Structure 1
Amino acid sequence: MAKPVLLAIDDDVSVLEAVVQDLRRKYGQTYRIVRAASGGAALDISKQLKERGDVVALFLSDQRMPGMTGVDLLQAVIELYPDAKRVLLTAYADTEAAIRAINSARIHYYLNKPWDPPEEKLYPVLDDLLQAWNQGHKPAYDGIQLVSARWGVGDHEVRNFLSRNRIQFKWLNPDLNPEAMSTLRDRGLDEGKLPVVLFGDGSSLVQPTTTEIAQKVGLRTQAQQEYYDVVVVGAGPAGLAAGVYGASEGLKTLLVEPMAPGGQAGSSSKIENYLGFPEGVSGDELAKRAYIQAQRLGAEFLTQGVTNICSDNGYHILRMTDGREVTCRVCLIATGVDYCWLCVPGEERLRGKGVFYGAALTETNTCANEEVHIVGGANSAGQAAMHFSKHATKVRMLVRGPSLTQSMSKYLIDQIAATPNIVVETGTEVIGVEGDGNLERVKLMTPEGEVTRDCVSLFIFIGAAPKTDWLPKAVALDNKGFILAGPDLKTKSKEDSVWKLERDPYLLETSLPGVFVAGDVRHGSVKRCASAVGEGSIAIQFVHQYLATL
């Protein structure tokens, strides 16, 4: 945003220069100081500023000027900048006229010349006026704007990507913001093709992919180099920790993440059992700190997905979703897990249109003053319930088991019990979702039998589905799709010959030598943020050991 303008006007060049110097010394860092040598010139300048979209906070004008007096000028600029503060500079002989002008021209204040010292006679007056102006001024938004309907195709995906990457944007929902469609018309865009992302430079993206948005906002989508010592696939807690330790220990490190740093933990509204944060920390804040730390130490981040890994003569080649390839000596898989689907009628059709997986932070504002349903009884569901309870009228937790004690930390159970607008419904399962275009009803099986309830927002926090369907067959998985590593290659694998080398695999090494795994995607992992960070950290130790054997 351009700085607001303070416009000084006086036909006496020496006086005008003194006014400008006093204004710059006190206000130059916050405001842009503009000068004019006559009332007519000041009016022209004001019109030009208005056409460019600049804002004038204060006019400081001399009274006695040829052609147009100060009072006449300050009356004229009301039409252009009605909220700007107007101050008249007068000689002692003009005091009576200045007082009359306070009523006739709605002048906010008059000052007698000279005003030395300005610290006593000028700045206190202007400080009060500018403080009052700032309290009432709402700056015009010139950042990213997203025009999309709440239940429209692609709406949730775009909002989630922007939010998770901490990219500030203004959401214009046509159902709530009448100016949304006129904004599109003004730019010559098709009102029927949503979502549309509008940028401050006048450009736009219509029904964009997340990769297109990433490229436009400056996220890196192409690797800077063709070769790295270690490529980390996934930037959740495990991947971020590996990035910090790999880069700090001199390894040329690349982290590849298609969505945003933080993984599933990054969407947690508050993690209260993470070491070193006695008041708790949001997953987003934790991810941001780790991201900055890894970057500062030299790790490179890439907003891309990986579609395959192949090995050739001791090197690993990763193919990206855009078809490009990156080569590395060691690959660390830290893709984490997704929340499981309910697998009930209507779910696929309404996904992103009232049925969400995680996404508590992204959808908070859309659910204000509504009733929210949360499926799940583990910590992630509890954290989401506490977060939504601050915005929604009621939060209903739908828990399949008899209580929360088997799957949720006690501190969360206690908080939920003490929150009056959270209702825990145990022994309850979702058996169907319904709606025309968006979620409208949810069908439940309760201890009392089957019921149908009105519902527009259903958030699912159940199970853990590993992100491993892109891996080659050379990487051994268990029967649920989690990656086997270390000793588990021999005890859990269905095949006796998945490990081909004479040496034993390293603790976090997969069946493909030189490819390691860390975090929730590993078979037998503890599904906790701190555990993932620990695995990502120690994985780099095994990376060094592996590289030493080459």
Structure 2
Amino acid sequence: MAEAHHGALVVVCRDEIPRLATVRELKRRYGGDYVIIACTRAEEVPGALAAWGHPPVAALLGGLGEEDPDGLAVLRALHARHPSALAVALVRWGAWETTRPIFEALTLGQLDRWVYAPEEYVDEEFHRAVTEVLDEWTSRQGSGREAVVMIGDRWSSRAQHLRDQMTRNRIPLGFYEASSPRGQALLDGLELQSPRLPVVVMRFHPERPVLQDPTDLEVAEAFGLFEPLDPDAVYDVVVVGAGPAGLGASVYAASEGLSTLVLEAEAVGGQAGTSSMIRNYPGFPTGITGNRLAFSSYQQAWAFGSTFHFMRYAQGLHTEGGLHHVALSDGTSVRGRTVVLALGASWRRIGVPDLEALTGRGVFYGAAVSEAPAMRGRHVFVVGGGNSAGQAAVHLSRFADRVTVLVRRAGLSETMSDYLIRELEALPHVDVRPRAEVVGGRGTEFLESFTVRDLDTGAETEENGVLFLLIGSEPRTDWLAGTLARDRWGFLLTGSALTAPDADPAWSLERPPALLETSAPGVFAAGDTRQGSVKRVASAVGEGALAITLVHAHLAAARVAAAR
């Protein structure tokens, strides 16, 4: 019987009223797909699961309140036995004394969610919360749906890149090692002679096209994303980049009636899209994955009417006849009355040749969420002290046997949010090693070992494990050198910074530049690419929205000037 169910929902609660109500609602709504198990004590859970053939536990709903004062401790103990499940506190509405312990447990990563026990039949607020829990669990496990199948070598840099791109773009993907029996059977079924790996099969497409070692453009074309743009079109605003700032700009521009084109060379979300969990974004008290936040914003902008153009890099910008021309990597160009540059940033390279040669094979830049499940049984080292590094360490700790955070500073307090520091400190198999730097490494097919130097003593040690490098970012503005004013690190100068004596090129108009305006009038910058930006998702979205306010003002001034 257990084989017919997707998983188990386990309710552990001594308080009879919320327990019975919760079980009733769970059975009515989810009983066809999930085993619903009710217990009054944690000791009853193993036997109850055994009676159903040990189905995977999707969620542990533990009572917390007057009759369950130890509810959080019970949940922690159960969660240790079922780490892939989501831990959910179950409380009665109005039990305000439970709020502080719940918020503390969320901060420390000891709890995933909380829900109010249903008070009546068809409690849709309760079911909305449960659905979010199940959606998150299914996302972590893999939905089982395979719209695209990829066969390749796991540690091939090309296969890793394509997996990461598809995961970030929320494409249901099945990946199979070419050397595995299943991978070999799939290749045999495709009847390919000496296939060039990775092989990508578009199962969702009626014709099921098969691509061998495809380029990004070939993948985009197979997905139907290679739609040509009207060469005569002039957009009110061209947004370059679909990270938080670019998505914020595109949502507000399109919703306010501006014709909007968004150019994105990789995946929506930028660096933020790789974050496994963002807990400090307003409106999401239990957190939201960067991928989900980015994709929801993308859908919102698309629904408002923004046009998205994927897999093309912007590589040139010039102004002619009052219009801005953006040259693209496929040889085409687009025109806009204004431009918002939301280019984001790329991960700073470590600069150790032996490690650079092993990128994708034990050395990863960024969180590499698609690789996290492959870290089971390994010791993972996360290099970096910012929020992205902290979020990566927390996520990887769900899979790896041990996680060590290496940071150059004496601690994390100057660079990482307090909630993340406390969460890392609470995780039993995560440790932080301050004043440490990776200076060398070796390996052939995969990273075998690397050298860590103590910055205080100079002593060096050899470590074995996998490296995830999140050591800061560099703006993607090289293609704008000589076109727009930048600082010595490559960040775009905007607003009052353009009136400084050393700004090159200098501001050319008599009016002062707008707050986010670059040295080219009508071209604005938002998010991480701009000098002085705050490296937070919410601030990037806010800058994108603010840029559209400035776009409106620029377009209005242009209309007035044209009417004279």
* TM-score normalised over the length of structure 2: 0.70
Q: 2:223 aligns with which of 217, 222, 231?
A: 217
Are 2:307 and 1:300 equivalent residues in the alignment? yes
CA distance in 1, matches of 2:275, 2:501: 32
Query: Residue in 1 aligned with 2:114?
Result: none
Task: State the secondary structure of the residue aligned to 1:381.
Answer: helix
Residues 253 and 383 (structure 1), Cα distance of their counterparts in 2 relative to 1, 3 Å cut: same
Task: State the secondary structure of the residue aligned to 1:167.
Answer: coil
TM-superposed CA distance for 1:490, in Å, is 1.6
Between the aligned residues of both structures, percent identity stands at 43
CA distance in 2, matches of 1:492, 1:467: 25
Query: Residue in 1 aligned with 2:483?
Result: 474
Q: 2:189 aligns with which of 186, 189, 206?
A: 186
Root mean square deviation of aligned Cα: 1.9
CA distance in 1, matches of 2:516, 2:305: 24
Q: 2:248 aligns with which of 212, 216, 241?
A: 241
CA distance in 1, matches of 2:226, 2:272: 22
Query: Residue in 2 aligned with 1:519?
Result: 527
Count of residues paired in the alignment = 410
Are 2:265 and 1:258 equivalent residues in the alignment? yes
Q: Which runs of 5+ in 2 are unaligned?
A: 1-31, 33-142, 559-564
Which amino acid is the alignment partner of residue 216 of structure 1? A
Are 2:494 and 1:488 equivalent residues in the alignment? no
Contact 2:238 2:338 in 1 (8 A): yes
Query: Residue in 2 aligned with 1:454?
Result: 464
Query: Residue in 1 aligned with 2:108?
Result: none
Q: 1:157 aligns with which of 154, 161, 181?
A: 161
Task: State the secondary structure of the residue aligned to 2:353.
Answer: coil
TM-superposed CA distance for 1:325, in Å, is 1.3
Q: Deviation per CA, 1:372-394: give whole Å up to 9, x if none.
A: 11000111100111111111111
1:377-396 pair list within 5 angstroms:
377-396=385-404
Which amino acid is the alignment partner of residue 295 of structure 2? K
1:273-284 pair list within 5 angstroms:
273-284=280-291
Which amino acid is the alignment partner of residue 501 of structure 1? L
Q: Deviation per CA, 1:480-520: give whole Å up to 9, x if none.
A: 0000011011227444x611111111111100111110001
Q: Deviation per CA, 1:49-88: give whole Å up to 9, x if none.
A: xxxxxxxxxxxxxxxxxxxxxxxxxxxxxxxxxxxxxxxx
Return 142-151 or 520-529, whichever deviates more.
142-151
Q: Deviation per CA, 1:421-478: give whole Å up to 9, x if none.
A: 11111111000121102212111102561111122x2111111200101225221100
Query: Residue in 2 aligned with 1:46?
Result: none
Contact 2:268 2:298 in 1 (8 A): yes
Which amino acid is the alignment partner of residue 179 of structure 1? R
Return 219-228 or 509-518, whichever deviates more.
219-228
CA distance in 1, matches of 2:196, 2:390: 37
Are 2:275 and 1:268 equivalent residues in the alignment? yes
1:417-432 pair list within 5 angstroms:
417-432=425-440
1:12-161 pair list within 5 angstroms:
143-161=147-165
Task: State the secondary structure of the residue aligned to 2:370.
Answer: coil
Residues 337 and 492 (structure 1), Cα distance of their counterparts in 2 relative to 1, 3 Å cut: farther
Contact 1:257 1:305 in 2 (8 A): yes
Which amino acid is the alignment partner of residue 503 of structure 1? R
TM-superposed CA distance for 1:185, in Å, is 3.0
1:341-356 pair list within 5 angstroms:
341-356=349-364
Which amino acid is the alignment partner of residue 154 of structure 1? R
TM-superposed CA distance for 1:359, in Å, is 3.3
Q: Deviation per CA, 1:333-354: give whole Å up to 9, x if none.
A: 0011111111113122112222
Query: Residue in 1 aligned with 2:333?
Result: 325
Contact 2:263 2:308 in 1 (8 A): yes
Q: Deviation per CA, 1:369-421: give whole Å up to 9, x if none.
A: 22211000111100111111111111111111111111111111111011011
Which amino acid is the alignment partner of residue 147 of structure 1? I
Q: 2:384 aligns with which of 376, 395, 402?
A: 376
CA distance in 2, matches of 1:520, 1:143: 33
Which amino acid is the alignment partner of residue 219 of structure 1? L
Task: State the secondary structure of the residue aligned to 2:433.
Answer: strand
Are 2:453 and 1:445 equivalent residues in the alignment? yes
Which amino acid is the alignment partner of residue 475 of structure 2? P
Task: Choose 1 or 2 for highest CA Rg.
Answer: 1
Which amino acid is the alignment partner of residue 206 of structure 1? Q
Contact 2:387 2:416 in 1 (8 A): yes
CA distance in 1, matches of 2:423, 2:481: 44
* TM-score normalised over the length of structure 1: 0.72
Task: State the secondary structure of the residue aligned to 2:546.
Answer: helix
Which amino acid is the alignment partner of residue 527 of structure 1? K
Q: 2:236 aligns with which of 219, 229, 232?
A: 229
CA distance in 2, matches of 1:431, 1:376: 14
Contact 2:146 2:173 in 1 (8 A): no
Query: Residue in 2 aligned with 1:465?
Result: 474
CA distance in 2, matches of 1:142, 1:263: 24
Are 2:342 and 1:338 equivalent residues in the alignment? no
Query: Residue in 1 aligned with 2:548?
Result: 540
CA distance in 1, matches of 2:539, 2:146: 42
Which amino acid is the alignment partner of residue 513 of structure 1? P
Which amino acid is the alignment partner of residue 458 of structure 1? L
Task: State the secondary structure of the residue aligned to 1:411.
Answer: helix
Q: Deviation per CA, 1:276-305: give whole Å up to 9, x if none.
A: 111111111111111111111111111022
Task: State the secondary structure of the residue aligned to 1:338.
Answer: strand
CA distance in 2, matches of 1:202, 1:250: 38
CA distance in 1, matches of 2:257, 2:450: 53
